[in-house]
A and B are shown apart, each in its own frame.
Chain A
């Protein structure tokens, strides 16, 4: 019988362990834990001679749905590039006498987008957003939104800079309510629209992802905002964007992406980002020539005052010593 108690704990698989699927009799050797969330854990496993990602979780329905989505995407004639991992199988395993559902997928090596940008520098942001927007466009053409767009769900290959979505648990058909979201990327949370899935929902989330990359909103700020009404969050975001509008040339586009009245779909984002990248070649040279104003005038702050006090003390001590020496 279906046992709600299973919600309690996802089994912990230890490295070296060999498990076998109940239906397809495929064996998997556990290498290590890749990630853990509220909805289950993902392990790196050997599936014959190939490495694979094995997702194990308490929610039978969620895993079966994710499997269906991934399979549909893989065989769909409109898919031109790989959006997510290829699926191997949906199966069950027995662990300590209890049956658990597992989903085995292609293992995608890569690092989350925020880490990727940290390594490469923020001038990679337009390119990354462009790549994600291209994947989004395909998904939207099929009538789906990705919804839970956050750094951990977008992996970049370090060498090729190829982007892939992982975790399709949040993928939602347009006109349905968004299933999974993260506050900082959610349109409704910011008071800028509904929580119904549509193409604009993803564009908003992508815009917020861009904001997180060039002008991060701290976890503390999010916690503070979670006690405020959506209208106040909305104003706060405006203010945040206004103060950071000169920090990066991508910001004006981001402001349009997260606007209250959506004007940009994924195609428009692609066009804008391509534009930014296209100009980049000559702009980077021009920037240095035309914009010596980049030298920012700093207002005096506390450090400067202390410096002044220190210099003053030093000079007066010097005079004091001189005076003592003379007399």
Chain B
């Protein structure tokens, strides 16, 4: 079961409130209804996030079935890894809960602790081995300029974490606002030996914050990747990045 499980999740990294385009909370809801969870990391340095931004971050995560962390930019690497792992566990826990409800009519947190430890061990193994399709949606609006170096390195660091897992993964990186369209730019890694983080080094942060459209673009990509996966043969060769 574990090796066949595919997890699809979005991680949004932002330092501000959305101000253009469709509602990000609704976008996150659309995502979860298609099996894609959305988690949010809000960066508070320079105070551009504000109360409104924080509330929006929580609302997006809440609607997207993910988690929300408000941190300073120095903690970004650690938090990105932690949120990814915990969101995976959360999603798997929900999958297991669903199965349990079908079987015995009880979710995990209503199980006796000694049974729960067995479920936890299973969830842990699944989190390590399951296939992960992940879209990283990064806010590169003007206020992010001073944080881009940290973000770039956090993305690189995240790849280390993903590589260390035994399960396969696909990482899609989106930055918004887009230089070319109304939503977000998807970054393609041409040279497989490099890191997708290096691409971020060439992005000049500017413009406003269309969080909603960016999330929708990521959802579309993850849905498409799921279809692509279906077409591939089961034992087939798959690159680290299918972008």
- Residues in chain A within 8 A of chain B (CB atoms): 1-2, 4-5, 7-8, 23, 38, 59-62, 64-65, 67-68, 89-92, 99, 101, 175-183, 188-189, 194-196, 222-223, 226-230
Contacts and interface: CB of A to CB of B under 8 A. Distances in A.
The size bracket of the interface on B is: 35 or more
A38 B120 contact: no
Contact of A68 (B81, B117, B149, B161): B117
Contacts of B79: 38
Given A7-B68, A177-B128, A227-B153, A182 B160 contact: no
B145 to A, nearest CB: 13
A182 B78 contact: yes
B119 interface: yes
Contact of A65 (B62, B121, B153, B160): B121
A2 B117 contact: no
Interface in B46-102: 58, 61-62, 65-69, 74, 76-79, 81-82, 85-86, 89-90, 93-94, 97
Given A38-B79, A177-B166, A195-B161, 9 more contacts: A7-B61, A60-B108, A61-B119, A90-B113, A179-B85, A194-B160, A196-B164, A226-B153, A228-B153
Given A2-B94, A176-B166, A188 B157 contact: yes
Contacts of A179: 85
Nearest to A1: B107
A195 B150 contact: no
B84 to A, nearest CB: 11
A166 to B, nearest CB: 19
B163 interface: yes
A7 B93 CA distance: 14
Interface string B159-199: 01101111000000000000000000000000000000000
